[in-house]
Amino acid sequence: MSNSGTEAQRSPALSTHIAPRPGFSRTYGPQPFEPVRYKNFEIRLAENDAELEAAQALRYRVFYEEMGATPSLEVKLAGRDFDPFDAVCDHLLVFDHAKGGADSVVGTYRLTRRSVALKHFGFYSEQEYDIAPLIAYPGEIVELGRSCVAADYRAKGVMQLLWRGLAEYLAAHRIGLMFGCASLPGTDPAQWAQALNELHRDYLAPKRLRAKAVKSRYVDMAAPAETLDGAFVLPPLIKGYLRVGAVVGDGAVIDEQFNTVDVLIIVETEKLTAKYARHYRTGRAETG
């Protein structure tokens, strides 16, 4: 879900043969929660194509220009990160109303609920993980992806504002489980041996939630002791998920296109602590 320098979360590359169902067009329903305002910031879902395209442009700047992902020709020419999932997902946005036009979108999350996924393409994470245990979870679930914050706003609490909007979204849809692929920069798992080993040792999901990396892409997270050096540094977003009770799937996955090593993060929302519930669902979100 994240990159240590960019506060980024995204899902694996989408197979090009997947396309919206014939006759499908993007629709924007009513906001499931009252838009949240803090100073010059506003947090709500995208309401039109222009706002969605602004989020896609932000994603392109972060994932391709900063993180070194490899764009398709179509994506490169557009200067926007997009795929067919965008047409059916909800897009949580943070706006800075001190700026105008597309540049006012300074943070985004892409959200896919089970009730939506089953009607269209399924979940993005299925390209990397067997998520059958998560799909079987009772009640509504949501996949988190494509999260990023504009470079100039990473020290201004915009990720915290996204989390506040996410908390409102979870409550509005009565979501019991959230999950998504978290990204570590680079494609060499050995670089992250200590972190992967400790995630596997201390945060491995219980069997009832233990999604596993698909066999063809499975990377063992339990590193031999002689390869460990004691250094254990995780990207801030992953640490944030762990603080609210996250566990991880079995196995990591290398994503060559996005230049990352991915792990699957899983959070039962009832395990969000009272501290975080107060922090993200009141007017006290910090903005630096």
Could you say which DSSP state residue 115 is in?
A: H
Model pTM?
Answer: 0.86
Q: Among 163, 195, 173, which Cα is nearest to 272's?
A: 163
- Beta-carbon contacts of 235 under 8 Å, excluding residues fewer than 6 positions away, are 2, 3, 4, 7, 182, 183, 184
Cβ-proximal residues to 12 (8 Å cutoff; 6+ apart), any chain: 124, 125, 127, 128, 181, 253, 255, 257, 258, 262
Looking at residue 240, its pLDDT comes to: 87
Question: Which contiguous run of DSSP H or E holds residue 51?
Answer: helix 49-60
- In tens digits, what is the pLDDT along the chain, a chain of 288 residues? 444 334 445 444 333 334 444 444 677 888 999 999 999 999 999 999 999 999 999 999 999 999 899 889 999 999 999 998 999 999 999 999 999 888 999 999 999 999 899 888 899 999 999 999 999 999 999 999 999 999 999 987 899 899 999 999 999 999 999 999 999 999 999 888 889 999 999 999 999 999 999 999 999 999 766 666 666 678 888 988 998 899 999 999 999 988 999 999 999 998 664 445 555 554 444 333
Give the 3-state secondary structure of residue 1: coil
Cα–Cα distance list, 30 to 116, 127, 144 (Å): 15, 30, 20
Half-sphere exposure of 282 (CA within 13 A, CB side): 8
| CATH code for residues 36-280 | 3.40.630.30
Query: In a 3-state reduction of DSSP, which class is residue 54?
Result: helix
Select from 76, 103, 106 the least CA-distant residue to 93.
Answer: 106
Task: Parse the chain into domains and list their residue ranges.
Answer: 36-280
* Element counts in the chain: helices (H) and strands (E): 8, 11
pLDDT value of residue 226: 62
Burial 162-187 (b: 16+ CB within 10 A, else e): bbbbbbbbbeebebbbbbbbbbbbbe
Q: What span, in angstroms and rounded, lies between the C-alpha atoms of 247 and 249?
A: 7
Q: Which two tokens stand for residue 100?
A: 């105008």
Tell me how far apart the alpha carbons of residues 194 and 53 are, in angstroms, rounded to a whole number: 38
